[in-house]
């Protein structure tokens, strides 16, 4: 069973069209294309897909170098972004949407994968550095801000230190790992509701799980273009 089949278990509801400009942006990071579908580096896509499904939002409008959808969550209008760029250019999409709607970094929530967390573990933060993640690095570089609330989704450490990083993050999850991610998706949906209410501190206290285990940063030659 794929992660997308598992997400079908999340209760969804039809929603009327959202009118008016968004008050928040949620960006889920990943790589476009069927060959990257369901891979570890696409955990951000998986989580935002689950959130969209829960709130009856339909992706399909292409703007801001992204596949987008609009949702209304407890009265808050939200633009959902899945950048059409590769991971290392995610900032292009986020910056364009922010500038168009004049939304500050503090109201842009970014969801992305983290190899320093166990599969399905979550770390929510108000702001911070890129932590070595090249999608977040590009967002911070192009916007000049690091005050993005973010949810990091654990995808597991490499099996051993010599394992190629690009091969690892572009590998598929096991069935057991997909089950963990399905449960994490439900938690992410709940955390996002709190964050959209401005209660990120509560989301951190309630939903942060696991301990981050630092790995050595990858050597430049280990990084394949889609992973950067």
Answer yes or no: 41 catalytic.
yes
Q: Per residue in 174-188, pLDDT tens?
A: 999 999 999 999 999
Q: Confidence class of residue 197 from pLDDT cuts 50, 70 and 90?
A: very high
Q: Is 137 helix (H, G, I), strand (E, B) or coil?
A: helix
Q: Which residue has the tokens 């170098």?
A: 65
Q: Residues near 144 by Cβ (< 8 Å), separated by ≥ 6?
A: none
Q: In the numeric block, which tokens belong to residue 140?
A: 């911070």
CATH number at residue 212: 3.40.50.1470
Of the candidates 53, 136, 130, 43, the one whose C-alpha atom is nearest the C-alpha of residue 94 is 136
Domains contained in the chain, number: 1
pLDDT: which is higher, 142 or 35? 142
Show the domain range for 149.
Answer: 3-227
pTM of the model: 0.85
Q: Confidence class of residue 9 from pLDDT cuts 50, 70 and 90?
A: low
Which one from 41, 55, 62, 133 is the annotated catalytic residue? 41
CA 180 to CA 174: how far, in whole Å? Answer: 10
Predicted confidence at residue 81, as pLDDT, reads 96
Q: Residues near 74 by Cβ (< 8 Å), separated by ≥ 6?
A: 193, 196, 197
């Amino acid at each position: 069973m794929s992660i997308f089949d598992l997400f079908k278990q999340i209760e969804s509801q039809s929603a009327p069209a959202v009118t008016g400009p968004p008050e928040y942006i949620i960006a889920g990071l990943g790589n476009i294309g069927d060959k990257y579908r369901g891979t570890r580096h696409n955990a951000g896509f998986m989580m935002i897909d689950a959130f969209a499904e829960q709130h009856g939002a339909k992706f399909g409008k292409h703007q801001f170098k992204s596949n987008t959808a609009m949702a209304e969550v407890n009265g808050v209008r939200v633009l959902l972004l899945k950048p059409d760029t590769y991971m290392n250019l995610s900032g292009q999409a986020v910056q364009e949407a922010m500038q168009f709607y004049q939304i500050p970094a503090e109201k842009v929530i970014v969801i992305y994968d983290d190899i320093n967390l166990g599969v399905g573990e979550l770390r929510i933060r108000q702001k911070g550095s890129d932590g070595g993640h090249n999608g977040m690095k590009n967002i911070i570089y192009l916007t000049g801000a690091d005050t993005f609330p973010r949810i990091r989704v654990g995808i597991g450490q490499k099996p051993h230190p010599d394992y190629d990083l690009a091969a690892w993050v572009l590998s598929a999850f096991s069935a057991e790992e997909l089950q963990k991610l399905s449960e994490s998706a439900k938690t992410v949906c709940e955390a996002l509701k709190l964050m959209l209410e401005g209660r990120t501190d509560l989301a951190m206290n309630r939903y942060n799980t696991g301990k981050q285990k630092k790995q050595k940063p990858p050597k430049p030659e280990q990084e394949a273009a889609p992973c950067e």
